[in-house]
Amino acid sequence: MLRKIFLGCALTVFVLAVAAGAYASLTSGGPRMGPQSMITRPAFHGYYDGHKVTYLNTDVSVKADATMMHVNYAPGLKAVPLNSAPEIYLVQGKAAAGQLAVFGSEPGEKDYSPVWKETILTWKANAKPVLIKSDTQVNQLEKKGGLSERSTSVRLNCPIVKVGK
């Protein structure tokens, strides 16, 4: 009889401990986003200040671009002020071998945002393309006269998910 009472108490304590642990894990740590799962998504590489970064392209503010890029059309991105978004430089036309997108910021920088203002770079007819790896280099090449820059009103949601060395 005493053994049954002891086992009943031990089982009750165990069940309460498990319930308390489950409750604590559900209520601690702030808001919950739901169960985590894994997906496969294309990732892209770009440059920032001479090193490679890896980013995702998830949304764009122009419907035709969304169709072309196979990403979400997000008209709400148009509400992001252009002067608050760092630039993502994309070379159009002739380019150096291995040219990737060039970012104006990265995670950890004070002006980093996953929302970018698209800026198109084109090499002038008489210029020999070189590999562009930084926004500073973009400015230098523009001053030398070999590269032209065209600002757009396109905003891209391209979070950088990995910073290289």
Residue 105 located in a structural domain: yes
65: containing domain: 44-163
Share of the chain above pLDDT 70, in %: 82
Alpha helices (H) in the chain, listed in sequence order: 2-27, 63-69, 135-144
Residue 28 located in a structural domain: no
Above 50 in pLDDT, residue 158? Answer: yes
Compare 24 and 142 and report the one with higher pLDDT. Answer: 142
Above 90 in pLDDT, residue 26? Answer: no
Residue 32 located in a structural domain: no
Above 90 in pLDDT, residue 12? Answer: no
Residue 66 located in a structural domain: yes
Residue 33 located in a structural domain: no
Query: Per-residue confidence at 32, pLDDT binned at 50, 70, 90?
Result: confident
Contact 54, 162 (CB under 8 A): yes
Residue 130 located in a structural domain: yes
Contact 72, 15 (CB under 8 A): no
Residue 39 located in a structural domain: no
The residue type found at 98 is: G
Quick one: which of 139, 149, 164 has its CA closest to 118? 149
Q: What is the pTM of this model?
A: 0.79
Q: Using one digit for the tens of pLDDT, what is the confidence trace for 71-127? A: 999 999 999 999 999 999 999 999 999 999 999 999 999 999 999 999 999 999 999
Q: Using one digit for the tens of pLDDT, what is the confidence trace for 44-75? A: 999 999 999 999 999 999 999 999 999 999 99
Give the pLDDT confidence score for residue 128 in this predicted structure: 95
Above 50 in pLDDT, residue 15? Answer: no
Residue 35 located in a structural domain: no
The residue type found at 123 is: W
Counting the structural domains of the chain, the total is 1
